Amino acid sequence: MADIIVPTDKSTIQDAVNSASAGDTIILLPGEYKEQVIITQKDITIRGLTVIGVNIRGINSNDIAFTVLADNIKFYDLNIENYYVGAYINGDSIKMEEVHFSACGSFGMVLSGKNNTITNCSFDECRLFGMNIGGDYHKITNNVFNNNILGCVANSIEPLTNTIICKNIATKSPVGINLSHSGSKYNEIIQNVITTDTGLFVNSPYTKIDKNSFQNCEDAGMIINSQNNEINNNVISNGRNGIIVIDRCNKFERQIIGNMKEACVTFADGDNSFTSGVLSNSTKGIRSIDNSNQCQNNVFVNVEKDSILV
């Protein structure tokens, strides 16, 4: 295992990657790097000497900063900006920590493979989404997504399964988390803080949504367009709609929803359950297309209790 210092030992990141063996660490000194790096050697680490001052900057509108086609690659303490895609990852057991993406022409990151961890990173002002994820068994934790043009986290390219999206902050975007691929399932969305126009859109079944905070969502805190999801212990405040449900067989427990301009909960389909919620200070409490939705043990404060959705 050896350290390769850029530009001291090798003049470019790509030269360092090409010369690296499994277990080596590539250390980038402060400076500006204008490269497209392709990684096919597994088990290497790329690290900025400090998170401040190591800037990897794109030149052309179709550039990709890092294309990762190997397993067990680790990235730390980098700033990546002005690329079409900051990182395209199609490997397993990849880790990124304190990597900051900004002003990318489409996505900060496209993530595939399995068992990858993205933590303490940031995604700012990307032209599409901060991140587009697919694959299996990822952990997306403690990241900040801000002012991305279409949204923060997307799942549209391939199915996503058994992935945890936890303790992230998403703000100033049309959509916070958008799980739009119908082939996705068994994901967990936990303890995120989201202040976007639509907080969460779910088009995949068997999703666990727990202990999230949705604030100031101008459209809706959540839109649920799939079946067999478990939605528990979320707080939704100050917006137009709290939760809009447009599919069947979802289970909601212990939601706290308040200050909605329209309705706290709208059911546009049947056979869902909504129990032990607290709904307050809104135009409508629960709107439902019919009586097949089971709404029990809820508390209503300064809100019309229920109505039929016309």
Nearest Cα to 71, choosing from 87, 51, 91?
91
Is the domain of 128 the same as that of 231?
no
Tell me how far apart the 2 most distant CA atoms of the chain are, in Å: 71
Is 206 part of a structural domain of the chain? no
Is 113 part of a structural domain of the chain? yes
Distance, in Å, from the CA atom of 237 to the CA atom of 181, rounded to the nearest integer, reads: 27
Using alpha carbons, list the distances in angstroms from residue 15 to 84, 204, 266: 22, 42, 57
For residue 298, give its domain range: 222-310
**Which pLDDT belongs to residue 307?**
62
Is 41 part of a structural domain of the chain? yes
Is 234 part of a structural domain of the chain? yes
CATH of the domain at 19: 2.160.20.10
Give the end of a domain, one of 93, 122, 146: 146
Is 35 part of a structural domain of the chain? yes
67 has which bridge partners? Answer: 38, 88
Is the domain of 2 the same as that of 142?
yes
Is 292 part of a structural domain of the chain? yes
Give the end of a domain, one of 95, 113, 146: 146
Give the end of a domain, one of 120, 146, 172: 146
Using alpha carbons, list the distances in angstroms from residue 230 to 189, 244, 293: 10, 14, 15
Is the domain of 135 the same as that of 49?
yes
Backbone phi, psi, residue 86, to 5°: -70, -45
Is 68 part of a structural domain of the chain? yes
Q: Residues for the chain: how many in total?
A: 310
Contact indicator for 188, 208 with CB cutoff of 8 Å? yes
Integer Rg of the chain from CA? 22
Number of compact structural domains in the chain: 2
> How many of the other CB atoms lie within 10 Å of CB of 305?
11
Is 163 part of a structural domain of the chain? no
Is the domain of 138 the same as that of 2?
yes
Tens of each residue's pLDDT in the chain, 310 residues: 899 999 999 999 999 999 999 999 999 999 999 999 999 999 999 999 998 899 999 988 789 999 999 999 999 999 999 999 999 999 999 999 999 999 999 999 999 999 999 999 999 999 999 999 999 999 999 999 999 999 999 999 999 999 999 999 999 999 999 999 999 999 999 999 999 999 999 999 999 999 999 999 999 999 999 999 999 999 999 999 999 999 999 999 999 999 999 999 999 999 999 999 999 999 999 999 888 999 999 999 999 876 655 4
Is the domain of 129 the same as that of 1?
yes
Phi-psi region of 53 (alpha: psi -120 to 50; beta: other; left: phi over 0): left
